[in-house]
Structure 1
């Protein structure tokens, strides 16, 4: 696209020219006072938007390049005393010349933030599960629907406010929930430093680039109220502190005794997690503490924690993980966690091999994995339980596929054993999981 310089200025960059009386002196010999663009050219020259040539001419009848136009747009963007209509005009020009402005080092995203301070993402998800673990191998099937909205609003160049709103429905009995607030926090982002304050997600999603990090903290529903600070680059440290809603989940099926069911299902929570992720290697270690008197005397079968002492109210969990990516398609990783205060079900670990990987934005992409998991109920704080479940161990396989952009299909199959076996049952377990997800 080519424009004459005078036409471009008159049509686009005469910021405020139509309603302002100019007193600026004319610096260009080839723009006479009776020229139709005289006021615009002289004012923009006074503002430093245009400079002309060394011989004192403006040469407004020549064609200009997109790069030259972008330079003028950049100078206009720097003006701070524009009316709303003039700013909207400059914003539209910035969108047109975004590539050239980026080459000049001008961040058009600043304009985008002014135009749209709140952004919305979301998903619609259908999930099917089928679990068999009792003596008769009877099926326990569930059909669930989830609708999620995730707004993000800018406060300033460093701070955003983020939230998550969920509504669920049981497709089997046609019941639904009210919309509930799952996340609400302020996030500040600085160079090699991030802070979150509010109702924050406890879990990090499973990392298929660096597998093995997901044995302890992969359940997306897990959350705590408090603060989180992360700092570092390749070596990162994350510190969390607050109150954690200890989830009294059941091992699949109502006939199996539940995990500790607390009358007050919150605990004091502190953690520190170290991660090193660079290139093909990922390493990490962490410590997690949960403290609540509600832990005392609760458990599966026998006393899970040290009894008769103040230590019985504590859960002290240590974890390590490591992963290595051999090439763009093949990766191997594993993690291990141990609760030093638990008497039973105190260890959890996983070993996983990943092949390729599905990306929601890449139609036709797919990935598969095979893993061995052991999820001891008192060592795995918030694991993903749609394959292997709490207090189960065995082999899990999974497959992801993207048939259409932002449409993701997932399938998992787990075959293993229950670590706690009620009377009249056996320890064999089979879990089947399927999901289709629409992202927007």
Structure 2
């Protein structure tokens, strides 16, 4: 495992754990709980320093962390003592800590707030990361407005659209990206459910048509269009086969093994079927022809939650461009992205618990470290998005009603709220 991978893993794990435990810690301090220890990691303490009443530590086993509160589990003392009495739990100087500062002495609402603060902070972290990436990086769009495929019997076919038609405007508004084309059609029809005017260029000549989208039973719009995919290279993964062969963003691939290629899907099909088989690839960069032999490596691609298939990969993406958005749009997009992560993770957990997913699909520390290394090779923005996804995973996992997790503690406190008494030991 490379140093870069280890550093990326340490960053992901460290930030997510600090934010999670920081949530517990800050809320505990806010309600007056004595926090004895704040540790990143478990086991023997490698580094420690006392600041105020709390000892901050980095411990030997890095897969987690904890905040140690005064009087955890000391219910008998809480029940027997008044708020001014001192308990048996001692501070760093050997002095008794007042019982009213014990975790167990606080109200159910205060204890519930402390328990759920960790997972909630993981969710907040994911939102901040996704919003930040969108705000700084912008959103990626396909700059092509030319039709590449038309679905048979679709609204697009019924409107008379043809392959290679280029969209110029939708509802009298100019469009400059494929997502702009689709969004403009949907927005125009959503505002007024009548045929939408579209301005095209066909074989160099202007053409005006009308298209009427359909709405399926789930409320989704159906148009039946796909963009023309050219062969320009997008983001390239550092140290991958494409990168090592010299391919860079903006290169235009012309042929593979002497056969002309004109779309990204053509290239993907050839690469997928060519594991460990050298491919002679020719491309243009600034009008200059270049070539190299590139050998796709094997990669496991999930088919569903139980099965995967092995395909070839040279690790570059289809060309796209970044478009800047306003801060309000960035927050909205970040929230949608975070919700998508929550939904995806929750769906997987349901399938896993019901036996519909293989246990092999659950990533352990080594695989998480490998993912961290892979993401940083795609770019720092990808590492941040992976950190957001990992943080969402911890948000949901920690809310599971398992005794050792935050969700388990929350269940006991909820029982106390409803039953008006402590749960039996």
TM norm structure 1: 0.20
Structure number with the higher helix fraction is: 2
Structure number with the higher strand fraction is: 1
Computing the radius of gyration over CA atoms, which structure comes out larger, 1 or 2? 1
Highest RCO, 1 vs 2 (Cα 8 Å, sep ≥ 6) = 2
TM norm structure 2: 0.21
